Amino acid sequence: MYKLYGALGSPYSMKMRALLRYRRIPHLWIDGSAAREALAQVRAPVIPVLQYPDGHFDNDSTPLIYDLEARHDQRSVVPPDPAQAFIAHLLEDFADEWLTKAMFGYRWLEEVDQVQMSRWLAFDALKGGGLEASQKFAAMFRQRQVSRMALVGCTAENFALIEASTRAVLAALEAHVVNRHSLFGTRPSLAEFGIFGQLSQLGTDPTAQVMMRADYPYTYRWLAHVDDMSGFGGDWEPGFAPVVTELVRIAGEVYVPFLRANAEAAEAGAATFRMTAMGLPYEQAAFKYQIKCLRELQARYRSLDAQSGVPLASVLGENWLGLLSA
């Protein structure tokens, strides 16, 4: 049986738990101190960590999803249509690498969120030991996370763009989920689980939760459904729903310039980069991992045959086509 080591406050842990539930892959959910011990078994010490039935450990949610696809046939989360599969991957990547900034910003920019969430995360991790020990751990963890804000681009100056793009995503979902819960038919893809992982945290943190409940109440409730879709059936459907086109457009407006600026900065040996998207400024340190994400998107796009590329052109738009064809 698989063992998923994670945490309730980790968007990628919630993403993988929901996906395993949907796919009905038997697993144990393990958090707290045991999750920390599992980190010693992987190269990059980040959760979630998945222990396989044969005993080996691995992490990084996107490669894990594709590895599980290769190992298990039932209830796939990758659409069989190559064009849809590519778009699902693109949206999952957008959620993992851009929407995560909303999670981080809402959690650590305002004091009310810093206090509650550092204490809750300490409570989750320690599972006992007394209030004094828990709050001492919370204070240290809060200081560490807040100190990393500028490094990952979640500053007060950048948050206008982060929030505007997040609200655009939420508005697109709000118009869609009142009709159906999934993006590519009546069954979920990896895109839904990627988006869910990040939004699951907005649904618990004080400031973001108030915002979601007030302005996007059905998307807020949608989170509870995606958390366990083990009872859902459904089918893939051809074409692209309006919500998919809109989410790709939003990603093209924000995530494309982010990926391009980051790659150009890394190539030039610059430590940081600046960009403007949605008419708003943004600046952060350059990261190698996002270059890997860009190269993966480009490779997947190039691997599509000509027939699959026809419907994609109208969905992707100029921003994405220019980046993917580079």
* DSSP letter for each residue of 283-315: EEE--HHHHHHHHHHHHHHHHS-HHHHHHHHHH
pTM, rounded to two decimals: 0.96
Across 29-57, average pLDDT: 92
CB 190 within 8 A of CB 236: no
CB 209 within 8 A of CB 224: no
- What count of other Cβ atoms lies within 10 Å of the Cβ of residue 299? 10
Of 175, 215, 177, 178, the residue nearest 196 (C-alpha): 177
Q: How much is the mean pLDDT over the chain?
A: 96
- What count of other Cβ atoms lies within 10 Å of the Cβ of residue 74? 7
pLDDT for 233 equals 87
Tokens matching residue 193: 């689980």
Of 110, 121, 208, 209, the residue nearest 155 (C-alpha): 110
pLDDT at 184 over 70: yes
Percent of the chain clearing pLDDT 70 (strictly above): 99
SS3 helix, strand, coil % of the chain, rounded to 5? 65, 10, 25
Identity of the residue numbered 128 = G
CB 30 within 8 A of CB 5: yes
> What pairs with residue 285 in β-bridges?
272
- Would you give the DSSP letter of residue 39? G
CB 111 within 8 A of CB 139: no
pLDDT for 305 equals 77
Tens of pLDDT along 5-25? 999 999 999 999 999 999 999
Tokens matching residue 31: 């958090």
275 confidence band (pLDDT: 50, 70, 90): very high
Phi, psi (rounded to 5 degrees) for 40:
-70, -10
Tens of pLDDT along 239-249? 999 999 999 99
Tokens matching residue 67: 């590895």
Of 10, 30, 19, the residue nearest 38 (C-alpha): 30
Tell me, rounded to whole angstroms, the distance of Cα 211 from its chain centroid: 19
Start-to-end CA distance of the chain, whole Å, equals 43
Strand, helix or coil for residue 269: coil
Across 311-322, average pLDDT: 92
- Would you give the DSSP letter of residue 157? T
Tens of pLDDT along 285-304? 999 999 999 999 999 999 99
pLDDT for 221 equals 98
**Radius of gyration over alpha carbons of the chain, in Å?**
19
Strand, helix or coil for residue 238: coil
pLDDT for 309 equals 66
